[in-house]
């Protein structure tokens, strides 16, 4: 439909029909049993007439199901305006990829994009039009359960991933590529910084920190063309995001130039009452519309009060028209007026969803996402002749999909045991399931393991302990896992720990008791295949952390790009008490941002740093050699430090990285170029610029093992 026709359609709509477009209902409203206006329809005071005006549905999929719902809806819709179908396809639809924190550990935005392309295909052929992804909240607090959904603590990396996911979901031609879906970046803004890491808690960020650390990834997703943005549950500077006019109308709309649809998070309009800034749903609806929320998810504020608010002169109908125009435009950009069923195709659904090709890609990404945290004495990779004792937590051996794996079926995932059987026979594995509930002494097992060569323990978190509503005050492994490790440590057998979890954990209690550790995250459908391929060396681990692992939860929030403070702890003043430090633990993480080992060894030449004549650009070169006898990938990282700023500057900032693959003995030169733009930062007056002065440039394989050189750059004030 062209814009004249679209304006014409808007002009024909009644106020009730406009309001209906701004309401999103869950799929259960469209289930047969509710048609007699009972259940949720009753709560929302939804008459069948009103039902015929609704604009979008969330959380239901299946090609035939959505075709039927759409057909029935269109038969009742006076103007034939199709429904939008939206859902949480966060890291896969039914083929589940690693959680985003795992995908991020590949340091390969192309893999993120590929996972999104395949996820979009499965979602689109199943009838969906929009995914509520990517989540691009920067995170620094491992107590918060939704760090699993983020790409970590660095704004530069998060921007690259935000763009990659949006590109993957939407492709370049949303209207003609029916195997794409519209992206919805979330949660605007600052949801990743709840005080005390407690879910839905208050967020207090200075606007400068918000702009320097948290906003860049949202801006990147919008610049990449994300069609929707979702509001955050949290208050920011005392005002819930969903009612925060300066955040939505000034920053998101005016400054970022976002023209798409702004949708509230689930019931976040209604939650303004609990926040205490709206006395009732009517007032909440007024605040949300004034802030510019176009679609209200799952509460009846707009549905039941916008009409009266207009009649009472509280809001102008033009705000409705503005919102409905954006909703109709989105439907038009998806081609729904020409084809309301878009990609839904129950025949193709059978071959595309959960295809072997998709699962193979999921396995590859899972392999690249896993991080080798420890491998002393090179006990890995395993020899296929070795006899193995495998300990898995009962009921959790297939709990590998993570908390946002909607249509993913644990029963369809590959357990570690099944993965090992792809390499060795049943006879070489003694399988034991330990109870996550009982603290056993495992005496009998200590005898049994005498007859094996190696011990593999699968531990970490259950998916229940991760994701939304899963904040934890303690980051340790469950007590029975620690006990099992301690008991098995009394044998002389090498212990390999495989961690399935959705956040940085406190591994201090056991890191000395195991001989190797693989951080596998929640790796998705092909978990066991990927783990086994790493254990037997078919794949050399290459993943690196994008979120710091603390020594203890007491250090959190903990992140690499921290400020120096006036009394920094350094290698030269370790004995001073009056420093920015703790009495009982080091400041450093147990495993730092950017850390990950390999089965081979990469050697770095001294870096060559060349400052351009202009003194505004710098070139950094380094040669990497694979000194081992296994091929593998290394992620070379470049950090800077602005030694003197007009506001305090982080002790280091990731500015470039390169993932290179080297055969044994092979070398490769890596060259990075930095320009003035790379050194700019947000000043106290919120302007973005940079001054001349000294800068450190740092190269290395993680954020702590770095070669440093100090240079002088003379940026001309322009
Ligand atoms: C949830 C989440 C949001 C999700 C939405 C719809 O509460 O906060 O990320 O997209 O509701 O399920």
Ligand 1 mean position, distance from CA 266 (Å):
6
pLDDT in tens, 503-549: 999 999 999 999 999 999 999 999 999 999 999 999 999 999 999 99
CA distance 709 to 296: 52
Ligand 1, atom 3, residue with closest C-alpha? 265
DSSP, residue by residue, 626-689: E-SSS-EEEEEEEEEEESS-SS--BS-EEEEEEEEEE-TT-EEEEEEEE-GGGG-EE-TTS-EE
Angle subtended at Cα 279 by Cα 278 and Cα 281, rounded to the nearest 5 degrees: 75
pLDDT in tens, 594-625: 999 999 999 999 999 999 999 999 999 999 99
CA distance 365 to 114: 9
pLDDT in tens, 100-137: 999 999 999 999 999 999 999 999 999 999 999 999 99
Ligand 1 pocket, 204 CB below 6 A?
no
Structural domains in the chain, CATH included, are 59-349 (3.20.20.300), 356-555 (3.40.50.1700), 602-713 (2.60.40.10)
Q: What is the pLDDT of residue 41?
A: 63
pLDDT in tens, 206-245: 999 999 999 999 999 999 999 999 999 999 999 999 999 9
User: How far is residue 221 from each of residues 135, 164, 229, 332, measured CA to CA in Å?
Assistant: 10, 9, 9, 21
Q: Which atom of ligand 1 is nearest to the CA of 233?
A: 8
Q: Which atom of ligand 1 is nearest to the CA of 186?
A: 9
Ligand 1, atom 12, residue with closest C-alpha? 88
Ligand 1 pocket, 506 CB below 6 A?
no
Ligand 1 mean position, distance from CA 229 (Å):
12
DSSP 8-state symbol, 272: H
Q: Which residue is catalytic, options 137, 141, 265, 399?
A: 265
Ligand 1 pocket, 149 CB below 6 A?
no
Helix (H) and strand (E) counts in the chain: 21, 26
pLDDT for 285 beyond 50: yes
Q: Is 2 exposed, middle or buried (0-12, 13-18, 19+ CB in 10 A)?
A: exposed
CA-based radius of gyration for the chain: 27
Determine the distance from the C-alpha atom of residue 118 to the mean position of all C-alpha atoms in its chain, rounded to a whole number. 17
CB atoms within 10 A of CB 202: 16
CA distance 621 to 510: 39
Ligand 1 pocket, 88 CB below 6 A?
yes
User: How far is residue 69 from each of residues 278, 347, 357, 599, 712, measured CA to CA in Å?
Assistant: 34, 18, 30, 53, 64
Ligand 1, atom 1, residue with closest C-alpha? 266
Ligand 1 mean position, distance from CA 113 (Å):
21
Helix (H, G, I), strand (E, B) or coil at 212: helix
pLDDT for 35 beyond 60: no
**Would you call 321 a catalytic residue per the annotation?**
no
To the question of pTM greater than 0.95 for the whole model, the response is yes
Ligand 1 pocket, 265 CB below 6 A?
yes
With beta carbons less than 8 A apart as the criterion, state whether 416 and 498 touch. Answer: yes
pLDDT for 441 beyond 60: yes
- Dump strand ranges (E) for 304-387: 371-375
Q: What is the pLDDT of residue 34?
A: 46
Ligand 1 mean position, distance from CA 368 (Å):
28
pLDDT for 438 beyond 90: no
Q: What is the pLDDT of residue 703?
A: 98
| Res. 710 pLDDT band, cuts 50 70 90 | very high
Q: What mean pLDDT is predicted for residues 645-669? A: 98
CB atoms within 10 A of CB 433: 15
pLDDT for 439 beyond 70: no
Beta strands 632-642 and 608-611, pairing class:
unpaired
Helix (H, G, I), strand (E, B) or coil at 44: coil
Q: CA nearest 102: which of 650, 475, 476, 531?
A: 531
Q: Which atom of ligand 1 is nearest to the CA of 266?
A: 11
Tokens of 299: 């509460």
Ligand 1, atom 11, residue with closest C-alpha? 266
pLDDT for 284 beyond 80: yes
């Amino acid at each position: 439909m062209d814009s004249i026709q679209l304006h014409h359609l808007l002009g024909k709509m009644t106020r009730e029909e406009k309001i209906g477009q701004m309401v999103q209902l869950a799929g259960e409203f469209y289930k047969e049993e509710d048609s007699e206006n009972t259940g949720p329809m009753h709560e929302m005071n939804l008459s069948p007439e009103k039902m015929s005006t609704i604009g979008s549905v969330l959380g239901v999929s299946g090609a035939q199901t959505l075709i039927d719902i759409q057909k029935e809806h269109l038969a009742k819709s006076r103007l034939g305006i199709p429904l939008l179908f939206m859902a949480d396809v966060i890291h896969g639809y039914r083929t589940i990829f690693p959680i985003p924190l795992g995908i991020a550990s590949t340091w390969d935005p192309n893999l993120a994009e590929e996972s999104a392309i395949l996820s979009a295909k499965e979602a689109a052929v199943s009838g969906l039009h929009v995914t509520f992804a990517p989540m691009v909240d920067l995170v620094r607090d491992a107590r918060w359960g939704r760090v699993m959904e983020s790409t970590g603590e660095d704004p530069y990396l998060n921007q690259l991933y935000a763009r990659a996911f949006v590109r993957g979901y939407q492709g370049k031609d949303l209207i003609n590529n029916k195997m794409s879906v519209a992206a919805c970046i979330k949660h605007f803004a600052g949801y990743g910084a709840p005080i005390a890491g407690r879910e839905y808690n208050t967020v207090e960020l200075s606007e400068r920190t918000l702009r320097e650390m948290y906003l860049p990834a949202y801006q990147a997703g919008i610049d990449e063309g994300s069609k929707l943005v979702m509001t955050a549950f949290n208050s920011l500077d005392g005002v819930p995001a969903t009612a925060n006019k300066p955040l939505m109308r000034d920053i998101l709309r005016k400054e970022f130039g976002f023209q798409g649809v702004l949708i509230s998070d689930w019931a976040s309009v209604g939650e303004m009452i609990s926040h205490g800034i709206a006395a009732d749903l009517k007032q909440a609806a007024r605040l949300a519309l004034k802030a510019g929320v176009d679609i209200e998810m799952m509460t009846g504020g707009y549905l039941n009060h916008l009409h009266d608010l207009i009649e009472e002169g509280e809001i102008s109908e033009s705000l409705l028209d503005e919102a409905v125009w954006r909703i109709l435009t989105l439907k038009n950009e998806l081609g729904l007026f020409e084809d309301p069923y878009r990609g839904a195709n129950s025949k193709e659904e059978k071959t595309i969803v959960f295809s072997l090709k998709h699962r193979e890609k999921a396995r590859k990404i899972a392999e690249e996402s896993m991080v080798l945290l420890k491998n002393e004495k090179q006990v890995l990779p395993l020899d296929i002749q070795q006899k193995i004792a495998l300990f898995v937590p009962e009921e959790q051996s297939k709990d590998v999909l993570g908390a946002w794996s909607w249509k993913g079926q644990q029963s369809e995932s590959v357990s570690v045991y099944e993965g090992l059987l792809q390499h060795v026979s049943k006879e070489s594995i003694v399988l034991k399931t330990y109870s996550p509930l009982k603290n056993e002494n495992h005496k009998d097992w200590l005898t049994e393991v005498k007859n094996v060569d190696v011990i593999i323990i699968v531990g970490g978190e259950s998916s229940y302990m991760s994701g939304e509503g899963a904040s934890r005050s303690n980051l340790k492994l469950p007590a029975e896992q620690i006990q099992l490790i301690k008991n098995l440590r009394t044998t002389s057998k090498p212990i390999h720990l495989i961690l399935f979890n959705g956040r940085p954990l406190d591994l201090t209690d056991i890191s000395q008791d195991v001989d190797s550790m693989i951080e596998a995250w929640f790796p998705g459908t092909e978990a066991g295949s990927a783990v086994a391929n790493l254990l037997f060396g078919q794949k050399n681990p290459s993943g690196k952390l994008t979120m710091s692992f603390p020594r203890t939860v007491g250090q959190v929030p903990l992140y690499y790009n921290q400020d120096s403070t006036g009394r920094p702890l350094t290698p030269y003043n370790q004995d001073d008490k009056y420093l920015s430090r703790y009495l009982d633990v080091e400041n450093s993480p147990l495993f730092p941002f950017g850390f990950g080992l390999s089965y081979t060894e990469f050697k770095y030449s001294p870096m060559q740093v060349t400052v351009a004549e202009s003194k505004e650009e710098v070139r950094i070169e380094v040669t990497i050699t694979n000194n081992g006898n296994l091929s593998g990938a290394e992620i070379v990282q470049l950090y800077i430090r602005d030694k003197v700023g007009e506001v305090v500057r982080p002790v280091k900032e990731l500015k470039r990285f390169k993932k290179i693959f080297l055969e044994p003995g092979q070398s490769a030169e890596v060259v990075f170029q930095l320009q003035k733009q790379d050194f700019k930062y947000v000043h106290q007056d919120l302007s973005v610029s940079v001054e001349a002065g000294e800068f450190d440039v740092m190269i290395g394989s993680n954020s702590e093992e770095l070669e440093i050189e100090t240079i002088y750059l003379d940026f001309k004030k322009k």
